Structure 1
Amino acid sequence: MKFPFGLFVVCLVAGLWPAAKAAAQTPRSLANEMVGQWELATAGRDRACVVTLRNNPVPLGMKVEFEKGCEEVLPFTGAIASWTVKGLDLVRFQDERGEPVIDVTEVEGGILEGVRTGEGVYILQNLVAARALSKSSDQMIGDWVMVRSNGNPICGLTLTNNEADGPENFQVFLKPKCDPTVGRFAPSMWRIERGEMLLISASGEVWRFGADDHAQWRRIPDSADPFIMVRQ
């Protein structure tokens, strides 16, 4: 018995439609997910500003708004006129001609990453999540140990709430028998800034640590054998 060609076409279309529909909806779904407020920052979050993505159509894309002062903090934002979704997973910030200023793609839930040549990596993160990383200084007071990635301790530290050189900086004390690398650095104060823990030496040298998913703080930028701060 011959299989009717018309029925074959119907079955073929029916079989392909769910996949085609999913593929067609993916960019639009991503665009919907992106609407809202985000933090655009350098990888170390030493420079950051708030970006609002809207679904209002503008020439070549959708409306984007930056908080006051963004252009001073991240100069390239001054060239961004709109945003759009390209392909399945790329969010493009573009100029008035539609040329990319920076492209970002998701690296984990709610966090997107992009690179600007000659400048480095930039992170786009949901604003609520980014601000949740900001820890209260009171929660950080106490004894800590700095370890290598293998868990071997290299130095003990005590973070205090004693003010040092201003109301946002506090004294830190090293315990005896620290690794020479930490001993030479010799941090004398610490503070929380944009969700990071900063250890600062008397000479002004700064080590930055970012919170990870294990309630630890890893030195930024990350490396194959990082220094990790763990509460004792």
Structure 2
Amino acid sequence: MRQARAALLAASALIATAAIVRPAAAQDVPAATEEAAPPSPPPAAETLAAPPAPTAPPSLPEKLGQVPGTWDLSRDGTNRRCVMTLVLDSGEAGQRLRFPAGCRRALPVLNSVAGWLFVDGAVRLVDRNVRPVLDFAKRPDQRSLVAQAEGGERYSLVPLDIVAMRPADAAAAPETAPTDPASPAPSPLQTAAPVPAELQPPATASAATASAAPAPGLYALDRFQQRDTCRINLDGTGGGVRIVPGCHDSGLEVFDPVRWRYAKGRMTLTAKRGHSIDLVPSGDGRWRRDPEVGTTFVLRRVD
């Protein structure tokens, strides 16, 4: 009897011990699993590169076919200048060039120029024997060319309207435009909704832009060390330009502006032959040529 009671007590102790051990073991298993699991890898670093900054369109030619057009030749530190046209037609000394007769008086170095070549990525003006007269090289800003004559004078050659300055995709645009009338209409998500009136910019913004535009009227031309060398009148109705009689600036007379316009903060003077120069405001009613190379060119409002 005593042996049976002892066996019963032993069995009860074993059952109680198993009930305690099993939950502990069940709790230990996930912990061991978590410890054995390898650490999760860190999130991949951002590898997307920042978009490249927009680059300015090229203004200097890289090959012979990009040279033709109008160029502005000037002697540095003076108001002497000439607007010439370089063409691809072959002449007695390289390719041909054309310029008004007044250029020979403004820049006597042109008396010996008979043609031009494109050598080492730059323009070279040559004489009848194809000897260099002005051997130009690119300036660091890649916006103009510079050369030094035999006498030590420095000359700047600035492109005004040449093939290299025209957008490369201008001619290809009509070819890439869709011509299939059966093309599906654009998705409604591609059509911008009209901006509500309460979200539109105030009228003061457009008024400020209009106030920055050049006022029509009389302007004086200031050069490097000379002021009021010539005066022009900007017409406010038709955008015309008239040189006031008594002009003493041969460069402006050669340029011969006939029209002007204002857009995107820049005033553009267009010559009778089609080439143009841009000017930007410099304060106090003054407008300076941009890029600011060669001879100083500043228009000053005359009250």
Q: Which TM-score applies when normalising by structure 1?
A: 0.44
| Bigger RCO of structures 1 and 2 (CA < 8 A, at least 6 apart) | 2
